Amino acid sequence: MRLTYTSDVWWKNAVVYCLDVETFKDGNGDGVGDFRGLTQQIDYLAGLGVTCLWLMPFFPTPNRDDGYDITDFYSIDPRLGTLGDFVEFMRTAHDRGMRVIADLVVNHTSDQHPWFKESRKSKSSPLRDWYVWSDKPEPDDPSKVVFPDKEDSLWEWDNRSKQYYLHSFYKHQPDLNVANPEVRDEITRILGFWMELGLSGFRVDAVPFLIENVDPKLPDPHEFLQDMRAFMTRRKGGSILLGEVNVPYEDLVAYFGDGLGDQVTMCFDFISMQRAWLSLARQNAGPLADALRERPEPPKDCQWAMFLRNHDELTLDKLTDEERQEVFDAFGPEKDMQIFGRGLRRRLPTMLGGDLRRVKMAYSLLFSLPGTPVIFYGEEIGMGENLDEEGRLAVRVPMQWTRDGGFSPAEPVREVPEGSFAPERVNVADQKRDTASLLRWFQLLIERYRECPELAWGTYTVLDAGHHAVFAHRCDADGATVVVAHNLCDTAVDAELELAGLEGQQLTDLLVDGTLDVSADAKVKLPLEPHGCRWLRASPPEIAPEDAGVMSQ
């Protein structure tokens, strides 16, 4: 395949790194992360191999929902810096070859936003229809209450204007009404404003809520997504929308734009993520293999975003009650590790007991799965959570730079974990000096992933490995093939793969030294250590592996 394609459609094999400015690095010594601190660490992120930064909300906020309750979509929260600091950060990131996207949280605002304050003044307010109001709210469906630990209804009575307003999330976050053309126009202004300051796109928060919880109901809700995408393409070709769309596969394809691919550019694969955790819990590749076999192909130039953990709870809502309990039992058996009855508020390394073999295998699996990998800050050093923090804040702890924390000379905005995941045991400085560290493993995985565009661009096939604990697949693109296998169990196994079309070729290991030969009947035996992983490039004996099927022009 032509490597030039991977710059035209850059998102298909990007490495996306999600961070919260507030908890990444303090640049002015007040205990709160900021854009000056983040800018100081751009070279660290570039050295890691990150190609796209995803910023969690950085807008002015009362901070009742960690910044997702916004009072001004056109500015920077003063705790995090100024627009000038933001522009300097953007310039530095671009200079190091990194694109930047940001959270687009326009399903709702804070109840302190000037729009809502005006809207609630009276039923005749000019901004009244910017939100969803009702004299008699629809009956509540308990299954649709997103935060059942805090809310028991989607409607809240406003005593001032004598009506109910809709809030899909917290009551202090009233829903915007995108059925109103003025609201849609304002959202495009927000997009245009930040794109002028250098953003390459947006991660769209809660996409189904954005287009469905409106009044009156839109005849075709997806037209709004089409309009957003068209506007962005006109303003900046190559910009993207990364959608948080946690719905079954059969419903999700419409968010890409069916076969046209003219709506959301990338969608998170929540189904494969949850099935991967079930596979890890069972030490059985079956659930993950089934998910990828069921997964529909996205439209041309669209892509799946792959992840194992993110900034929210580890949601397990698409598993059955019995399957969810299996994952709870394996990775979060205590009640304070669980949240909302459907997820876990832990980071991956703690869920895997700090076992570096398992942790390295899990991240190797992530980077090799067909799609674009998305990682959460601190994953590259194996940071843990702080269960003393409320709710989902448990995983949003300050970044651990040195043995004494290194996040800030002042008291940090949140407490860091204690025990085996405390900064004195888990930090960037130590792992930079350790060739066997998780940080160095991440750098190797990212380097190899970027050298293997077949993993993201190619046609993938889930393979029968002859052992229940082995997940194996191959990715083919324009005559080039990469074969990957992961052992999910704690005993050594020999996988047996049938690789049609690769008869007589050689498989070169990309993570360690070594080669294997594919037999004349297209079979190969693949030894795997406990929680072992192998990435292998196929090539005829007379062709160097790095030249096999990949053209530079």
Q: Is 509 helix (H, G, I), strand (E, B) or coil?
A: strand
Q: Which residues contact 397 (CB under 8 A, 6 or more apart)?
A: 23, 378, 383, 384, 385, 386, 389, 414, 415, 416, 417
Q: Based on the residue annotation, tell me whether 379 is a catalytic residue of this protein.
A: no
- Token pair recorded at residue 38: 């983040």
Give all strands of the β-sheet with 155-158 in edge-to-edge order: 133-134, 163-166, 155-158
Structure token pair of residue 131 = 């939100």
3-state helix, strand and coil shares in percent for the chain, rounded to the nearest 5: 35, 20, 50
Q: Alpha carbon 499 to chain centroid distance?
A: 32
Which DSSP letter does residue 359 get? H
For the question of residue 77 being annotated catalytic, the response is no
Peptide bond into 216 cis (omega under 30): yes
Active-site annotation holder among 34, 69, 77, 205 = 205
Residue among 103, 175, 244, 380 flagged as catalytic:
244
Q: What angle do CA 62, 65, 67 make, to 5 degrees?
A: 60
Tokens found for residue 439: 């940080």
Distances (CA, A) of 312 to 18, 38, 65, 343, 391: 12, 21, 12, 9, 9
Tell me which residues are annotated as active site. 205, 244
